[in-house]
Amino acid sequence: AQRVTQPEKLLSVFKGAPVELKCNYSYSGSPELFWYVQYSRQRLQLLLRHISRESIKGFTADLNKGETSFHLKKPFAQEEDSAMYYCALRPSGGSNYKLTFGKGTLLTVNP
Amino acid sequence: GAVVSQHPSWVICKSGTSVKIECRSLDFQATTMFWYRQFPKQSLMLMATSNEGSKATYEQGVEKDKFLINHASLTLSTLTVTSAHPEDSSFYICSASPASGGSYNEQFFGPGTRLTVL
């Protein structure tokens, strides 16, 4: 069975401060990991995926298979980063496999 | 980019009636669509996986007779909540995967449908 754990339900930081949203996973096979973001009153959208190894909006995430983690980081948070962030996992092999989401972390960036 | 629409965006119905929610992929074909349910300030819970031309696969605990899913074409899947009750009130979200599949293809999410059962 696949499981995604986001230990922090709420995270509040000040503008310009570093931010790290934690994500741990449990899966016996080879996983694909994703971070999705949901801004207020908007649909869920993909922020980044581990296979792309890219930085989006200043965010990065590194898959650590030893620690089974995929933490999302940004060195300097901005107010517009305030949103709900979901970590998600799916088995490697294709987009037709189901995603398993964590419970989400609500990030608030204060001015 | 790929766009997924849902209709209606919100619906209010009386207890005991049935409600149909449509999910459409507007600019791509989707062999697979997923239906999720999201409670306020909570995560998305997968309800079922819908494959074009075949029966949907429901997650454990989801009543297939209550949540009827039809994926009749490569661009349309419908979720019908039958004999709705107040506890069915929720935010229903669909996502669609392009027909070409592959690891680099993502799921695209619809804007969601807010169902309120009185």
What are the pLDDT tens digits along chain B (118 aa)? 689 999 999 999 999 999 999 999 998 888 889 999 998 777 889 999 988 888 899 999 999 999 999 988 899 999 999 999 999 999 999 999 887 655 456 789 999 999 999 9
Residue pairs between chains A and B whose CB atoms are closer than 8 Å: 55
> For tokens 């799916």, what's the residue?
A90
Q: How far is CA B109 from the centre of its chain?
A: 10
Distance CA B51, CA B33 (A): 6
Burial string for A19-57 (b: 16+ CB within 10 Å, else e) reads bebbbbbebeeebbbbbbbbeeeebbebbbbbeeeeeee
Nearest to B107 among A95, A100, A104 (CB): A95
Q: Can you read off the two tokens belonging to residue A68?
A: 């089974």
Distance CA B101, CA B107 (A): 10
* B56 in contact with chain A, both atoms CB, cutoff 8 A: no
Q: List all residues 6 or more positions away from A52 whose beta carbon is below 8 Å from its beta carbon.
A: none
The residue of chain A nearest to residue B38, with distances taken between CA atoms, is A103
A residues 15-74 near B, CB within 8 Å? Answer: 32, 34, 42-46, 49, 51
* B109 in contact with chain A, both atoms CB, cutoff 8 A: yes
Q: Can you read off the two tokens belonging to residue A76?
A: 């300097």
